[in-house]
Structure 1
Amino acid sequence: MIKNQFVQNKLVLHLMEQEEFELLTTSSNQEEYLLWKTNKRNVDIVRVSLKQFDWNRDVEESVQQIEKNVVQNIQLPLFKQTISFHHVFIVEYEPVDSWSNLMNRESSVNKIDRSFVYLCGQDRDEVLVHFFQKAQLHHPLTFSIPDNLFELEYQTVKLKHQIQHIHKNAEKEILALFNRGKPRLSYLILAINIIIFLLLEYRGGSTNPETLIQYGAKYNVAMMDGEWWRIITSMFLHIGIFHLALNMLALYFIGTLVERIYGSIRFVIVYFLAGIAGGMASFALNPSIAAGASGALFGLFGALLYFGLKNPRVFFQTMGTNVIFIVILNIIFGFSMPQVDNGAHIGGLVGGFIASGIVMLPKTKAFMQQLIAVVIYVFYVFGLLAYGLTNEDVQFDETLQIQRVQQLLEDKQYEEVMEIVTRTLPYADELEAELHFYRAFANIYLESLDLAKSDLETAVEHKPDFEEAWYNLALLYQQENEYDKALQAAEQLLDLNNEESSYQALYQELKRAEN
């Protein structure tokens, strides 16, 4: 039995040292080891066991049980191509009945593509060679078993200690990857978001568009006028308690994880660079008022994906499948919900991934790669800016431009109103009448009364129940002494709303003028 233990531990140590296998689990009495190795999209799992079986069916039951446990309890790579399971039994004797059917069996367990069983008994060396061929191992295993019993026991114990030492060092290295920083800045940013949210609620409500614009929400109209600082300020504003709660939960779990992996300085750089990229993508693709930390938070997912690119084995052993699933789920959800700013999400995700290449993981030096990442990030952000400035479908969105025109009218910038409405009308659909109405206002103040009348006539043609347009059209007709048309417009007003006193007064005045 001690010889089998020696062979078992010699094989396990060889797999760990020479073939880059990692120890997954070991039984309490070290009777059985479970190891694995990922190579691109292929996964090899090796079980090295001293269990002795009397019958073929007992081997089959043990094989099935172990394979089920692995699939249920071990995080396997998401985009795997094949998973091969190798069961190596080092035994004193073989099962009583034939077991040759197990040598290349079809696994009944879902996700296991290939399953092999090797019984190392009297022909141990030959079976191990067969195992090395099937597992495509590159370094042959050669050893001799000590004849002296005390030497054999000593060497066996030594091998066990070596296995445990390598395993513990590997665990320490993995733990070190997740303890490179304390999540102080994550908690600080979380607190700032909550404080600003309470301020918004106190000053008018976090769902009030005017309050959001006043305190720095992403507002394309203002940004086109030079207020680019809104890309940063909008990262700290949230629209409603649910929006805040969802993002702060993500910051609490994902932000602290990224800060532990990257360290505080790298974390905050990634956070803001991702937020800027997300905000710029929102400017380029979304005309609506927007706010929230979602772009920056998706950037943190990008940072985790970058970590997975650099440490694929650890990534998929720990969180990889969950991270990829959450990202895909959120993107699908964003495309299915119109009110979700999916542009900011995807823009932040890509920005965070690139930003991670700029800062790199701790203890990593790759100046040229970092410089390339900086260039890519600059081109990415300025590319989004250039696209946004020329994306007339967004920047001349009718709802957005009406908000802009209203502000310009308050500021008495009538020439600019004329220009904006003229450029927006080709993209208008539901609000074409309102655009003509506001351009008519600008024409009135610019004393272009004929153009004003034309715009108002077009407005009521597109929207027959547009009371304000009818009222101003009646006044213009009156001013131009076109009393018949003015009276018709006033009558239309009364048909729409005969309880409005100003309409009644205008109608009576026009009737008297006509007589």
Structure 2
Amino acid sequence: MIRTISLMMKYFIEQKEFFLYPYKEIKSIFDIVLSKQIWFSHFFIDFIHQDFFNASIDYQKSIIYNQYAEIKLKNKYRKLFFYKVILVQDPNHYSTEHLEELFSWLKTEKIHVNLIVMDSSSNKVLTIFSNFKDQENIESFIKENIGHIHNKDIEEINLLEIEKTTKEKKGYYFAPKKAYFTSIFMALNILYFIYISMSGSTTDISHIIQFGAKYNPLIADGQYFRLITSMFIHIGVLHLLLNTYALKILGKDVEFMYGSLKFILIYLLAGIFGSLASFLFSNAVSAGASGAIFGLMGAYLYFGIRKPTIFSSRYGMNIITMLILNIVFGLTNSNIDNFAHLGGLMGGFFTSYALGLKGEKIFKLKQMLFQILIIIFIITTLFTGVNIHQQSWEYHLHKGVNYLKEKDFEHAELQFEEGLKKNENISEFYFYLAYSHYQQGNRDTAIQYLKKTLSIDPNDQMAKNFLNDIQNE
């Protein structure tokens, strides 16, 4: 009997990836429980002696309920499913007739149980009770393997060693290699922060715009590089520290899951997706690696879909919980660019799908088609955003100021007047129109525009000084 159970457990470990679940002291082979977690569902398998059939109803209930109660304490927020395999060696030794009371009790309890009889003498397998769908196909699996047991001649079965070997083959253990490109991206963030800080404050919006922050009018004017440079700029030390720490925690495993080249592409493309989403839906100046880091979470999610058992075993619901908390925190904080976060998340997921996991070919037909779709999406989204923002008053203000710097007063005034059609309550338009007319010798017109400026913003000190200077000439 021990040999039969040990061999069946070996098959479960090697082929179904059910692993040892140490929840109590093991005194006999009937105390060993195997488990498998897939997202929010947790499956358990153990073997029961044939004496279970002839035991009292209280004993039968205790066998099932006590195990459930102990395991539930450690898995409060997961759905638990229990497979109880009753091993019999004598077909005349058991009968299900007197189990009706147990079955009735199980139907009323909120315990998911599947009772399977495994007759090793006749190689028959039968499910005698179940209150959940056997999505792991345990009954079929036992039927397929029960016949092999008698043909195996094994002196010793070390379940711990079998589990270790299986996990190594299946990819449960990530090799302790250095994540070089994770470290490189961290270093780039820190070095660029230091470089920007040498000439001004990283919390000064105008200063970080000069170094490549996401500023919609400049992107709409052709400075597309800001979609990339903005992900290496951070607004203040705390912003830098939080993103660098998150990159360190998330990046090393993603780099192992996908390999260095794919990791680089996922990180950069997720950052671009985040920048594009922010460019399309947010007018605020923004910067930071958050979009790319959310993209790494997207890469985790894709890995979880492809390798749900490994994902659940390594991370449980920690990644999902972290993602939900970050989204909720972002939605409740007006200073956070949620569009960049959500764009990065989707970018990381779709890029991971387009590239595949480590060792998988990049240029397969299905993936190449998706890669082309990603490129088309990026280009389409970019120029949709450009078209939208070239119609905004901010864009016309930016263009007008540039023309003023070049002393092209005619085109500057056209831009400011076009901007006023979009929003006539922006005092800067009137101020710059005053400046343009003054430079061309139109003193009276300049005074009118300055008065209009002060009617909108009475506290504009520059406009006050400028008006006093003209009137005192």
Shorter-chain TM-score: what band? 0.7 to 0.9
CA drift at 1:38: 7.3
- The answer on whether the counterparts of 2:274 and 2:340 sit within 8 Å (CA) in structure 1 is yes
CA drift at 1:238: 1.1
> Which residue identity lines up with residue 439 of structure 1 in the other structure?
L
- The answer on whether the counterparts of 2:57 and 2:101 sit within 8 Å (CA) in structure 1 is no
Q: Which moved more, 1:449-458 or 1:114-123?
A: 114-123
- The answer on whether the counterparts of 1:453 and 1:473 sit within 8 Å (CA) in structure 2 is yes
Matched, 1:386 2:383: yes
Q: Distance in 2 between matches of 1:467 and 1:204?
A: 24
Instruction: Tell me which residue corresponds to 1:433.
Output: 427
Question: Once the two structures are superposed, what CA deviation does each residue of 1:87-116 show, in whole Å capped at 9, x if it has no partner?
Answer: 33447999xxx764333515766xx5x234
> Which residue identity lines up with residue 33 of structure 2 in the other structure?
L
Structure 2 unpaired stretches of 5+: none
Instruction: Tell me which residue corresponds to 2:294.
Output: 298
Q: Which has the higher contact order (CA 8 A, sep 6+)?
A: 2
- The answer on whether the counterparts of 1:107 and 1:115 sit within 8 Å (CA) in structure 2 is no
CA RMSD between the two structures:
4.2
Structure 1 unpaired stretches of 5+: 479-505, 510-515
Instruction: Tell me which residue corresponds to 2:191.
Output: 195
Instruction: Report the 3-state secondary structure (helix = DSSP H, G, I; strand = E; otherwise coil) of the residue aligned with 2:128.
Output: helix
CA drift at 1:131: 5.3
Instruction: Report the 3-state secondary structure (helix = DSSP H, G, I; strand = E; otherwise coil) of the residue aligned with 1:172.
Output: helix
Instruction: Tell me which residue corresponds to 1:34.
Output: 33
> Which residue identity lines up with residue 70 of structure 1 in the other structure?
I
> Which residue identity lines up with residue 354 of structure 1 in the other structure?
F
- Aligned partner of 1:5 among 2, 6, 19: 2
Instruction: Tell me which residue corresponds to 1:49.
Output: 48
Task: Give the alignment of 1:62-101 within 5 angstroms.
Answer: 62-73=63-74, 83-90=80-87, 100-101=100-101
Instruction: Tell me which residue corresponds to 2:103.
Output: 103
Instruction: Tell me which residue corresponds to 2:437.
Output: 443
- Measured at CA, do residues 444 and 172 of structure 1 come closer, stay the same or move farther in structure 2, by a change above 3 Å? same
Question: Once the two structures are superposed, what CA deviation does each residue of 1:206-255 show, in whole Å capped at 9, x if it has no partner?
Answer: 21234323332223333333332233222222111110111011011001
Instruction: Report the 3-state secondary structure (helix = DSSP H, G, I; strand = E; otherwise coil) of the residue aligned with 2:201.
Output: coil
Q: Distance in 1 between matches of 2:329 and 2:186?
A: 24
- Measured at CA, do residues 123 and 173 of structure 1 come closer, stay the same or move farther in structure 2, by a change above 3 Å? closer
Q: Distance in 2 between matches of 1:75 and 1:180?
A: 32
- The answer on whether the counterparts of 2:103 and 2:129 sit within 8 Å (CA) in structure 1 is no
- The answer on whether the counterparts of 1:298 and 1:345 sit within 8 Å (CA) in structure 2 is yes
Instruction: Tell me which residue corresponds to 1:276.
Output: 272
Q: Distance in 1 between matches of 2:209 and 2:458?
A: 33
Q: Which moved more, 1:179-188 or 1:85-94?
A: 85-94
Q: Distance in 1 between matches of 2:243 and 2:180?
A: 17
Q: Distance in 2 between matches of 1:440 and 1:420?
A: 14
- The answer on whether the counterparts of 2:250 and 2:296 sit within 8 Å (CA) in structure 1 is yes
> Which residue identity lines up with residue 211 of structure 2 in the other structure?
Y
- The answer on whether the counterparts of 2:214 and 2:230 sit within 8 Å (CA) in structure 1 is yes
Q: Distance in 1 between matches of 2:353 and 2:270?
A: 12
Instruction: Tell me which residue corresponds to 2:140.
Output: 138
- Measured at CA, do residues 323 and 221 of structure 1 come closer, stay the same or move farther in structure 2, by a change above 3 Å? same
CA drift at 1:167: 3.3
CA drift at 1:340: 0.9
> Which residue identity lines up with residue 419 of structure 2 in the other structure?
T
Question: Once the two structures are superposed, what CA deviation does each residue of 1:390-423 show, in whole Å capped at 9, x if it has no partner?
Answer: 224x97365x765665555344343443343333
Instruction: Report the 3-state secondary structure (helix = DSSP H, G, I; strand = E; otherwise coil) of the residue aligned with 2:340.
Output: helix
- Measured at CA, do residues 56 and 395 of structure 1 come closer, stay the same or move farther in structure 2, by a change above 3 Å? farther
Instruction: Report the 3-state secondary structure (helix = DSSP H, G, I; strand = E; otherwise coil) of the residue aligned with 2:82.
Output: strand
> Which residue identity lines up with residue 453 of structure 2 in the other structure?
A
Task: Give the alignment of 1:164-175 within 5 angstroms.
Answer: 167-175=163-171
- The answer on whether the counterparts of 1:16 and 1:22 sit within 8 Å (CA) in structure 2 is yes
- The answer on whether the counterparts of 2:38 and 2:312 sit within 8 Å (CA) in structure 1 is no
- The answer on whether the counterparts of 2:302 and 2:352 sit within 8 Å (CA) in structure 1 is yes
Matched, 1:364 2:360: yes
Instruction: Tell me which residue corresponds to 1:409.
Output: 404
| TM-score, normalised by the number of residues in structure 2 | 0.79
Instruction: Tell me which residue corresponds to 2:374.
Output: 377
> Which residue identity lines up with residue 224 of structure 1 in the other structure?
A
- The answer on whether the counterparts of 2:243 and 2:290 sit within 8 Å (CA) in structure 1 is yes
Matched, 1:224 2:226: no
Give identity over the alignment, percent.
Answer: 27
Task: Give the alignment of 1:279-358 within 5 angstroms.
Answer: 279-319=275-315, 321-358=317-354
- The answer on whether the counterparts of 1:396 and 1:423 sit within 8 Å (CA) in structure 2 is no
CA drift at 1:466: 4.6
Q: Distance in 1 between matches of 2:456 and 2:303?
A: 56
Instruction: Report the 3-state secondary structure (helix = DSSP H, G, I; strand = E; otherwise coil) of the residue aligned with 1:45.
Output: strand
Q: Which moved more, 1:164-173 or 1:465-474?
A: 465-474
Instruction: Tell me which residue corresponds to 2:202.
Output: 206
Instruction: Report the 3-state secondary structure (helix = DSSP H, G, I; strand = E; otherwise coil) of the residue aligned with 1:88.
Output: strand
Q: Distance in 2 between matches of 1:318 and 1:328?
A: 18
- The answer on whether the counterparts of 1:295 and 1:347 sit within 8 Å (CA) in structure 2 is yes
- Measured at CA, do residues 338 and 307 of structure 1 come closer, stay the same or move farther in structure 2, by a change above 3 Å? same
CA drift at 1:377: 1.4
Instruction: Report the 3-state secondary structure (helix = DSSP H, G, I; strand = E; otherwise coil) of the residue aligned with 1:47.
Output: strand
CA drift at 1:173: 2.9
Question: Once the two structures are superposed, what CA deviation does each residue of 1:178-209 show, in whole Å capped at 9, x if it has no partner?
Answer: 33963112112212322222333332222123
User: Radius of gyration: which is bigger?
Assistant: 1
CA drift at 1:306: 1.5
Instruction: Report the 3-state secondary structure (helix = DSSP H, G, I; strand = E; otherwise coil) of the residue aligned with 1:128.
Output: strand
Instruction: Tell me which residue corresponds to 1:23.
Output: 19
Q: Distance in 2 between matches of 1:248 and 1:378?
A: 28
| TM-score, normalised by the number of residues in structure 1 | 0.74
Instruction: Tell me which residue corresponds to 2:254.
Output: 258
Instruction: Report the 3-state secondary structure (helix = DSSP H, G, I; strand = E; otherwise coil) of the residue aligned with 1:216.
Output: coil
Matched, 1:462 2:461: no
Q: Distance in 1 between matches of 2:38 and 2:64?
A: 23
> Which residue identity lines up with residue 102 of structure 1 in the other structure?
L
> Which residue identity lines up with residue 5 of structure 1 in the other structure?
I
CA drift at 1:130: 2.1
CA drift at 1:448: 5.7
Instruction: Tell me which residue corresponds to 1:500.
Output: none
Q: Which moved more, 1:334-343 or 1:23-32?
A: 23-32
> Which residue identity lines up with residue 29 of structure 2 in the other structure?
Q
- Measured at CA, do residues 65 and 384 of structure 1 come closer, stay the same or move farther in structure 2, by a change above 3 Å? farther
